[in-house]
Amino acid sequence: MKVIELTRFGLDGLVAAERPVPTPGHGEVLVRLKGASLNFHDIATLLGMANPRMKLPCVPLSDGAGEIAGLGAGVTGLTIGTRVASTFFPRWQSGAPTRWKLSDVPGEQRDGCWADYVVLPADAVVPVPEHLTDLEAATLPCAALTAWRAVVVEAKVKAGDRVLLQGTGGVSLFALQFAKLLGAETIITSSSDEKLARAQALGADHTINYKTTPQWGKRARELSGGEGVDLVVEVGGSGTFNESLNALKIGGHISMIGVLTGVADVIPTAKIMSMNAAVKGITVGSREDFLAMNRAIAVAKLKPVIGQVLPFAQAKEAYALMQRGGHFGKIAIDLTA
Amino acid sequence: MKVIELTRFGLDGLVAAERPVPTPGHGEVLVRLKGASLNFHDIATLLGMANPRMKLPCVPLSDGAGEIAGLGAGVTGLTIGTRVASTFFPRWQSGAPTRWKLSDVPGEQRDGCWADYVVLPADAVVPVPEHLTDLEAATLPCAALTAWRAVVVEAKVKAGDRVLLQGTGGVSLFALQFAKLLGAETIITSSSDEKLARAQALGADHTINYKTTPQWGKRARELSGGEGVDLVVEVGGSGTFNESLNALKIGGHISMIGVLTGVADVIPTAKIMSMNAAVKGITVGSREDFLAMNRAIAVAKLKPVIGQVLPFAQAKEAYALMQRGGHFGKIAIDLTA
Amino acid sequence: MKVIELTRFGLDGLVAAERPVPTPGHGEVLVRLKGASLNFHDIATLLGMANPRMKLPCVPLSDGAGEIAGLGAGVTGLTIGTRVASTFFPRWQSGAPTRWKLSDVPGEQRDGCWADYVVLPADAVVPVPEHLTDLEAATLPCAALTAWRAVVVEAKVKAGDRVLLQGTGGVSLFALQFAKLLGAETIITSSSDEKLARAQALGADHTINYKTTPQWGKRARELSGGEGVDLVVEVGGSGTFNESLNALKIGGHISMIGVLTGVADVIPTAKIMSMNAAVKGITVGSREDFLAMNRAIAVAKLKPVIGQVLPFAQAKEAYALMQRGGHFGKIAIDLTA
Amino acid sequence: MKVIELTRFGLDGLVAAERPVPTPGHGEVLVRLKGASLNFHDIATLLGMANPRMKLPCVPLSDGAGEIAGLGAGVTGLTIGTRVASTFFPRWQSGAPTRWKLSDVPGEQRDGCWADYVVLPADAVVPVPEHLTDLEAATLPCAALTAWRAVVVEAKVKAGDRVLLQGTGGVSLFALQFAKLLGAETIITSSSDEKLARAQALGADHTINYKTTPQWGKRARELSGGEGVDLVVEVGGSGTFNESLNALKIGGHISMIGVLTGVADVIPTAKIMSMNAAVKGITVGSREDFLAMNRAIAVAKLKPVIGQVLPFAQAKEAYALMQRGGHFGKIAIDLTA
């Protein structure tokens, strides 16, 4: 079968290779992959930042979708041909996260999805909503579930709440879609008016161009009746945190998800205190959360936003595109092309 | 000013009367009422069942809306002309209910809203969403807030959850609208195919005629992929409870709200246990919940369903209509007509 | 190895037998059992009520403890000699219960613990607190975890809350111990003043003899400053439910656990509503809850209350004793005697 | 009556003065004060940092206790002579905090408790546990309730959880006592072995001298089976935050309470994310939380730790002592001496 291998850290470490189709062991399944998608985690992995000690070569990409093509011994409840997506954390079935549950990530700690086939534990795949294409299903494991956990599981957004999204990357657009699905009022930021217009078409109630409005936090507060928003889905990580606090209402939530603008920053701890802010670190979610999200997606016939599709062979192009940023929504890989 | 007075229990105890416009005391406001609405609680009050020791005569109806017409000493944050609705429990500002908070109900323990004016504590009114008429605003205090608390506050329904509504009365239709607003999948029952069609137009995903399908609980479970629903908004109270359990998924919620079909019944306590069901008694909600609900209504531009409007003078007709049942949504009183 | 087998429903169906020591398969462990304990679930199983279609013969008893004596293929993180207890629901690792998670119960749907050895999935055992004997550890899987889930997981009892326990059986005494461990004020009922004295020695703050005080619910409310208790751990099931409601404060919890006095009863549904009561069905809990409970037991050096110990051979005597009731705390089986 | 007045920011702004005994208005009570206590908030107020625009002169101190000496019009449910404590946020009765609820603080936005008498809204006082002296009662409003909210309300600590306390100031010692009351395992840090010994006598399970063990976070993790603690009550604010993260388990809580070591710092936002940490800002709590805390204190007969008592006249000495730090527990003011 065809695979992409990361042979050493960096773009040049990505090479096309051939491997035999793997055989599923006890409790495992073989998945014939059709689509995959990229996340910032894949960039961090590529650069050796996510896991400096990772074993190379490794097939990259945590997120893939396709159909069950083989069942190992002892597997029940799945049948050949079932359309499934991978899970980011194969061991996180349900409940609260632990160090153990947050390990064994495909594409980093085990072979991932840039391949014709992948072997995964049977409980590390989930059936996907019928109305989604394989490419769309492949956008769910990391970005969609991260957004779902931030908006639904942790912040428990309800109708009428105000939610602030940063930029128009994969996580932010899923968070926008979920927040709208729940009846929330949404504000989204971008440096591009064209992207803001597209976000508005997706349901964003208010838009802020953070280039022309550097104090976007203050502006978001004004747009929230002066009270502030209930939730900021913080994907910047540090460079944006202070402005996020300015947007927040007393007792509001900040989902700390991304590291787009840095991994550490001077944070006004006293303001976190006085605002009674709830800052919650989030890395994806459990398989049970994934199943609940899929029900929501199926009921609403919600469609993921794919900004760009690349074929199997263009690994370096895809990573470079992801690194440059600027895409709208997700970057997907058509593994059949 | 014109009022309706309940002078003794029963329909014949309702009489039209004249009273001087009351004066708001310290911390109170005078509301010029424009609309009111009826709830089953008003029937229970009429019949002396809600409060056998209530002081008569009393102006009936818990629910009214209009505009601030006078401010007592010490009142801040409200201005003459602000459009407001009454709250069902004037003392329940926030937090968990207590015996004290669940007292002083207008129309039962203090004069209510079938009047040109009413005096209420300043924190016993809430501003109403701008897009609502006075009549629509008058449907919110009891029925809408009860549905909101059941669906949003207690059961914490999220997108993709399954919710079962019983019948097409005021609480059930609000619960239907809120469940849809949150992205849930909904099933509604009625004995009338015509009403089921109207419910479907409001967003119901599935309908069951409980006359032709007496085992509607089992049918609801089938419509829920065999797994059962996440929430039943139980307005029957006892006659319907067993069938509600049949509809429920393991660990699901039953909001115990109404007494339409009885106040006590043989309940399979062992089944509550084995299903790990969560049965939650609900009587309306707090003022803070009301404010949150109003934000949701405002963001979604949600419109309450009013089945029938009667003028000020037709008190007996309105109560009789409520007792007969069979209306779709709320019965409202146009106090200006 | 020695086992007790249930060959047909009823006491006479219990027979001693010899079987070969089983071999753990992939992902399974072999446990050398030292102690076991009885629960009402075992009585319901014996009588064919828990599972009329169960496959016989079956080794009874859900609850056992001992040490790991063999590891199947693919098992990691456990070593020979580790002291462990069984879990009641082998598939319920964490999260909310589902029909699937609530299946495969030892002693009912698979061979249980009245045996020298048992094979269980590796994630269906938990390490036990060091300070406990094997017999004490064998009392935890069903009764202790049920009490823990009622008091800690569902009702979230905190210091200063009031908790009402019914009788002095296994679940009630564990619930008493956990409630005290959390700083709650406790009230316990019994028909025996002698048992009430023993309960007081275990930490009960107030006692009520329900024979001499049939309106024990009202009495419990008086003992609660007239306000009522925060939680009733309801083990009667139906015969006691109405009185439990009388003991409850507005918005209080009733954990519906047992069926001691019946499986169905006339329940005042209207009162559940007006009191805003939260009635929660409970059957044991997840493995993650078990681990958390064990940490609490270890930190507090809490000792389970064993009322009576019987040797391996006295199966009929043990079941008969359980059926008669009247024991204080748990009935344990010394499998080494 | 005697009062201390803050006439301008700084220690020298504190002067003794005489004022007429105030008269309670509608809905207010007059409290004859017997004891008061100091908090870091009082230092921040003294220095003009808490509220640079505060109206001077102002009677300082948020926390006081005494007895009801007068009732304004419309006050029900309180009687002359009832022993009460003040609340830090008079408007925060229950529910989630808002900007409005977090205002009107005695000693900052209205006259406080360094006086023979104070007038407060009737719902801005709470009855105090009988077993407490007036001085002990006066330690509750800010420090105890802050600790209660951190440990019980927000982090929902349960038996068996691990809790890390920083230093032996008022909040940390209350948090220690509450954590022990709930059955948690506790670790406490200090620079003084003598204080650590006193903390151990109060129930601390493990102690760390952070002078001799600068990597106290790592040490706390080791003391937590390598897994990390469930909760850090963070009173340093910024200088200690990174080490707190090192102590934490995946998914653990950090209560952000204090600013002892700074109001802003370089924070590893990426680590908050990857650890799925929950960082929650906390400023005191609601009146309903206060009442619940008082029940817990009453049931456990818990005694606040007062390190030092000063008489009415020694205002400057008391503030200087607080600023120097180094006290064990609370600094109380005997207003009758």
Question: Which structure tokens are listed for B88?
Answer: 């069902």
Across A256-265, B267-276, D100-109, the highest mean pLDDT is recorded for D100-109
Place of tokens 């370089």: D266
Average pLDDT, chain B: 96
| Residue D258, pLDDT score | 78
Report which DSSP code applies to C138: T
Site from A101, A273, A283 to mutate, D interface, most D CB atoms within 10 angstroms: A273
> Residue B239 has what pLDDT?
76
Structure token pair of residue D230: 């469930």
Strands C2-6 and C162-166: unpaired
Give the neighbours of chain A: at least 3 Cβ pairs within 8 Å.
Answer: B, C, D
* Alpha carbons C88 and C96: distance in angstroms, whole number: 15
Task: Kindly report the number of other CB atoms within 10 A of residue D316's CB atom.
Answer: 14
The Cα of B24 is separated from the nearest Cα of chain C by a number of Å equal to 30
Which residues of chain B make contact with C276, given a CB cutoff of 8 A?
97, 102, 280-283
d(CA C23, CA C28): 9
pLDDT of residue C281: 96
Which of the residue ranges B230-244, B287-301, D217-231 would you say has the lowest mean pLDDT?
Answer: B230-244
Superfamily for D2-139+304-334?
Medium-chain alcohol dehydrogenases, catalytic domain (3.90.180.10)
The mean pLDDT value for B322-331 works out to 92
Q: Are residues D93 and B96, on separate chains, in Cβ contact within 8 Å?
A: no
User: Amino acid identity, residue C150?
Assistant: A
Could you report the per-residue pLDDT of A308-323, keeping only the tens digit for each? 999 999 999 999 999 9
- The answer to whether residue B238 scores a pLDDT higher than 90 is no
Closest chain D residue to the Cα of C300, Cα to Cα: D183
| Closest to A37 in 3D by CA, of A122, A145, A123 | A145
Q: Is the peptide bond before C20 cis (omega within 30 degrees of 0)?
A: no
| pLDDT over threshold 90, residue B329 | yes
What pTM did the predictor assign?
0.97
Sign of dihedral through CA atoms A296, A300, A304, A305?
Answer: negative
Q: Are A160 and A328 in contact (CB under 8 A)?
A: no
Measured at the CA of D125, the angle between CA D121 and CA D131, to 5 degrees, comes to 165
Q: Which helix (H) or strand (E) holds C66?
A: strand C63-71
Q: What Rg value do the Cα atoms of chain C yield, rounded?
A: 20
Q: Which of D243, D206, D249 is nearest to D228 (CA)?
A: D249
Note the pLDDT of residue A181. 98
Low-confidence residues in chain D, pLDDT < 50: none
- Under 8 Å between Cβ of B111 and B59: yes
B265 touching C (Cβ < 8 Å): yes
Paired with A126 in beta bridges are A85
For A27-82, the pLDDT digits (tens) are: 999 999 999 999 999 999 999 999 999 999 999 999 999 999 999 999 998 999 99
Question: What are the tokens at D51?
Answer: 């509220």
Strand partners, D331: D308
Residue-by-residue DSSP string for C91-121:
T--SSS--TTTT---BTTTB--SSBSEEEEE
Q: For residue range C67-118, what is the model confidence (pLDDT) as tens digits? A: 999 999 999 989 999 999 999 999 999 999 999 999 999 999 999 999 999 9
Q: Considering chain A, what is the average pLDDT of its residues?
A: 96
- Which pair of structure tokens corresponds to residue B178? 């809120």
Pick out chain C residues at pLDDT < 70.
237-238, 260-261
**Three-state secondary-structure class, residue B97:** coil
Amino acid B237: pLDDT:
66
In this model, does residue A237 exceed pLDDT 70? Answer: no
A236 has pLDDT over 80: yes
pLDDT surpasses 70 at B261:
no
Chain B positions in Cβ-Cβ contact with residue A128 (cut-off 8 Å): none
Quick check: helix, strand or coil at residue C268? coil
Contact of D26 with chain B, judged by CB distance below 8 Å, is answered with yes
pLDDT of the residue at C237: 67
Residue closest to D255 by CA, chosen among D293, D225, D285:
D285
CA C251 to chain centre: 26
B156: left (phi over 0), alpha (psi -120 to 50) or beta: left
Domain covering D144-281: architecture: 3-Layer(aba) Sandwich (3.40)
Token output for D300 = 């456990």
Tokens of B115: 């009047």
Calpha distance C146→C63 (Å, rounded): 13
Residue A274: pLDDT band (50, 70, 90) is: very high
Q: Which chains touch D (3 or more CB pairs under 8 A)?
A: A, B, C
Burial D196-235 (b: 16+ CB within 10 A, else e): bebbeebebbbbbbbeeeeebbebbbebbeeebbbbbbbb
Q: What ipTM was estimated for this complex?
A: 0.96
Q: What whole-number distance in Å separates Cα of residue D265 and Cα of residue A289?
A: 34
Q: Are B116 and B1 in contact (CB under 8 A)?
A: yes
Q: Using the beta-carbon criterion (under 8 Å), do C93 and A96 form an inter-chain contact?
A: no
Structure confidence by residue, pLDDT tens digits, C185-214: 999 999 999 999 999 999 999 999 999 999
Q: Which of C241, C250, C270 minimises the CB distance to B263? A: C270
- A251 contact B CB<8A: no
Touching partners of B (3+ C-beta pairs < 8 Å): A, C, D
Give me the pLDDT at residue A239, please.
76
**D227 vs D219: CA distance, rounded Å:** 11
User: Between β-strands A125-127 and A83-86, what pairing exists: parallel, antiparallel or unpaired?
Assistant: antiparallel
Nearest C-alpha in A relative to D274: A283
- The answer to whether residues A91 and A13 touch, using CB atoms and an 8 Å cutoff, is no
Q: Where are the domains of chain C?
A: 2-139+304-334, 144-281
Q: How far is A88 from chain D (nearest CA, A)?
A: 14
**Could you give the count of Cα atoms lying within 13 Å of C143 in the half-sphere of its Cβ?**
32
Distance separating the N- and C-terminal Cα atoms of chain C: 14
d(CA B118, CA B95): 26
CA distances from D157 to A134, C166, D164 (A): 44, 26, 12
Partners of residue C331 on adjacent β-strands: C308
H or E segment and range at residue D307: strand D306-311
